[in-house]
Amino acid sequence: MVLRYVRCIAAAAAAMAVMSGCATPAAPTIDASTSPGTTPVSSVPFALFTHCGIYEARVQDTFFLADQPLNDGHGNPPAGWGNPYQSGTITVAGSQAVFHDDSGHTVTFHERPGATSFLQTCS
């Protein structure tokens, strides 16, 4: 019984040595689209609030205004947009944020420096 226990431990130790000792370190990956001094840009999932039209967006603690606000003329999102939210992605690069969705909608926003809240709220 003790011999079987010792063999199991030896086999487990040998397997761990083989699995951990044979791999070479992973090579670091470099994003060739960025150069020193630039900030990498990436899109992140984003739920754009559309309930009263598309005017503003908040990404983390930064507030952005739409370059061209969108609504149906009655305080709602335009036809073809979700309500109260439209799912998509947003990409922030410097003072600009761009929203895209799978329906082909694109909205460009620009940062409101120093803003701490939305300009307008709706019910």
Residue 52 lies in a domain: yes
Q: 104 is written with which tokens?
A: 């082909």
What 8-state DSSP symbol labels residue 21? H
* Residue-wise pLDDT tens digits, 58-84: 999 999 999 999 999 999 999 999 999
Q: Does residue 97 fall inside a structural domain?
A: yes
Q: What pLDDT sits at residue 7?
A: 52
Residue 59 domain boundaries: 43-111
Across 98-115, average pLDDT: 98
CA–CA gap between residue 79 and residue 100 (Å, rounded): 16
**Cα–Cα distance for residue pair 115/67, rounded to 1 Å:** 16
Residue 67: inside a domain: yes
The number of domains in the chain is 1
At 88, the pLDDT band (50, 70, 90 cuts) reads very high
The span from the CA of 45 to the CA of 56, in Å, is 17
**For residue 19, is it within any domain?**
no
